[in-house]
Every structure is written in structure tokens, then in C-alpha cells.
Structure 1
């Protein structure tokens, strides 16, 4: 029963933070440490619950994905936007996957990522760039590629995929809302592929006895992830990105006190 409660808590944390610019990795490491839920089993569990967050976006943006999967150059966003945004991080991620897992997944590197990611968000917000893409369908191919380049930063744990890509979108001339929605959609193939690769690497940690634990965590991540995405899109219309940056700085301080 205690493990199931931990699974629910971790699933809720993943669902809440995966698409917010606050670093889900940092939160999972911190919460996992506090709950005593660490080790190889915990790493496999974290990979599984990421699929819950991916499913949440698939459900919420189902029509958009169906449009993209037609592989037509439709007016507005199409498969080329997704491809351009995926390529940079996919190539670098595949080349450096083992290095990233071996050297960057630790408390000190996550701490650095939290701080540097927060600084990037403040810089983006204060850049005062002209907004040329108010809605997601207004995003150009060039802007999609720039956002994809910024997604490379998310390979550093703690930087945050959404924080990096939303900042990149703002610097490229998109609105916060458009950048956030585009980030959610692009995250699905990236996160899905990365999670599948991690799952293969951690397959030794999968056992039938842990199936209830993993399913509970996945369901919690899915439900909370849906609520978080809808709420965040609405927040992006009126909330400054810097507020999330300040939260990251506070989290980094807590992280340093508890973990280091």
C-alpha cells in the first residue's frame, strides 16, 4: 500500500511538471529522494509514467495529430513543422544518449540546469521581440526549427523541455501561448521515442509484480497531465514566464539544501 501511495505521488508530480517550464526531472529526483523511492526500479518507474504525460497530450490534441499525420502541406501547422522541431534534439540525443545518462543525471547537474534554464526564461521574456505568430498555426518553418534547436538544451536534466522551447519560441517571435502549445505537440514524438529507448535500456527493471505500481503511476500522470496542460495554456495568456523562473530558483535552493 505504501508503494502505491508513492506511485500516486510520483505520477501526480510527473503530470504536473512535465509540461510546465519547471523541470519534471528535478522534481522527480527531489520527491523520489524525499520518499526514499530511488534506484533502478525507480528509474524504470519514471520512464513508464512519462508515457502517461505523452498520452495526455495525444488525447487533448488528437485532431491536430490527425491533421499532421496526413502528411499534407496544409495551411497552418503540418508535419514539416514537427520534423524541423524534432531533428536537432533527436540527432544530438541519439549521439549522446549514453553520455547524458552516465554523466548528467545527478543532483548537481540538475541544480545547474534549474538555474540556467530560469535565466534563459527571464532573458526570453525581456527580449521584447516582435510577435509574428500569435497562434500555433501562425508558426513558420524557420520558427519551428529555432524552437527545435532550443530543445537541445532540454537534454541537460533540469533545463526543462517546455522551458527551453517556450523561451526559444518567444525569442523566435511567437507568443507564449503559441510556443507552449507547439511545445506540447512536439514533445510527444520526442518523449515517446526517448521513453521507449530508456524502457529498452531498463527492461531488466520490469517485473510482473510491479505492474500495479506502474499502472497506478501511469494513470495518475495521465489524469493530472491533462489538467496541467489545459491550465497551463490558459495561464500562458496572462502569466509572465519569469514567475516560473523564480520558482525554479527557489526549487534549486531547496534542492541544494536537501540533496547536496
Structure 2
């Protein structure tokens, strides 16, 4: 069940068969299944484990005092939630499932043993954490500078490429268990505005979104529409070409 994680990490560092076995053991330490829209961890909780998404999607979000919500990131299969979370006294955000989700809970001793004893895995995880920070910067640019059409197009491009990197796409399609309300919470738009933007993208024959499936008919044109440059995902890092036997 760590295939998505391994495929993603190998864009940064070539992992050996032993490295992959170590990751598989860590992911099997404790597995938890959640239904749709269930909390994984809540703001104010004391961090106890690192979560690895094995299957399904989750989101990181913040609630304002008046109940409004901002989704600040999506977690996809193969994503680790907060590598340095044990530094915190309490969670400053919440994470919840989107649809059915399976997560692995990796304990602090197990995770620290992996970092200390397996340098190649540690290198890949640090690269992955830097990409996570880069994605957050890009989301800030998305909210601050792109218009509605560009925001949604950019988000679709990012999510599709991240899923493709982890081996989670099917040709031009991928699972997309995100409602229009959740898209609105992620893009800083109203649900009505999101609906109109989706209709515009459909009329441009760029995407189709139905039955929890996103189909991108022309990725190149969608990237142009969203002013999308994938450089912040760092998928061409030279570390991916390292020999696993070094």
C-alpha cells in the first residue's frame, strides 16, 4: 500500500528494495480507515503520530471564529502529513477525510529510526517536505494573484500532476472526491462562482468533472489557462537518477 509514496519519493531519490521494505513496514504499523468527512486530527490536539495517506484524499483546513473554513492543502495517496509535527505542543490546524480514506499512523520512535538509519529515505523525505512548502507558496500566489478561471485551472493541473507522479491517474482521468463547496473553500471563492467557473472550463472543452472523476481533455491548454508552471513541484531533480546500490 506504499506504492504511491515510493513512486513519488523516487522522483527525488532512487530507493533500494530494502528502503521500500522499510517504508512498507512503517505503513503497516497501524492502519486506520475513515469514512467521508471524518476528522483525522483536530486543531488543539496534541500531535501523537505522523499520518501517511494510503488511499483516498484528505484536506488540511482552518476554521474562523464565525465558522467559515479555508482549505489550505489537499493530501493525496502517498502524502505524509507534517514531518516535523512532533515539535508542536498542539495542532494549529485540522485534517479531515474527503470520501473514504485509509491512513497509516507512524509513531515518533519509528519515524526517527527511519531518518537516522536510512539516509536515502531521509533525503527523499526532506525533498518531499520542501516541495510541500513550495506548493503552499504557490497556493498563496493562486489566492492573491490569479483570477477565478486561472485559480481553478491551476489547482486542477497541480492535483492531476501530483496524482500522476504517484501513479494515481488513468490516462486523462483521476479520482476527484472534492465537492464544489470544498473547491470554494480551497480557492477563496463562493460556491456559485466555482460552479460558473467549472461550466466555463467545460465550455472551453478543457475538463469534465462528474461522478467524482476529473477528466482533463487538454492538459497543455489547461496549463496555459491556469498560468501553470510545474517547476515548483521539482519533479526533475537530479537525485532521482541516483543508483540505488550506491
Q: What TM-score results when the alignment is normalised by the length of structure 2?
A: 0.30
TM-score under structure 1 normalisation? 0.29
Which has more helix, going by share of residues?
A: 1
Which protein, 1 or 2, shows the higher relative CO under an 8 Å CA cutoff with sep ≥ 6? 1
Higher strand share: 2
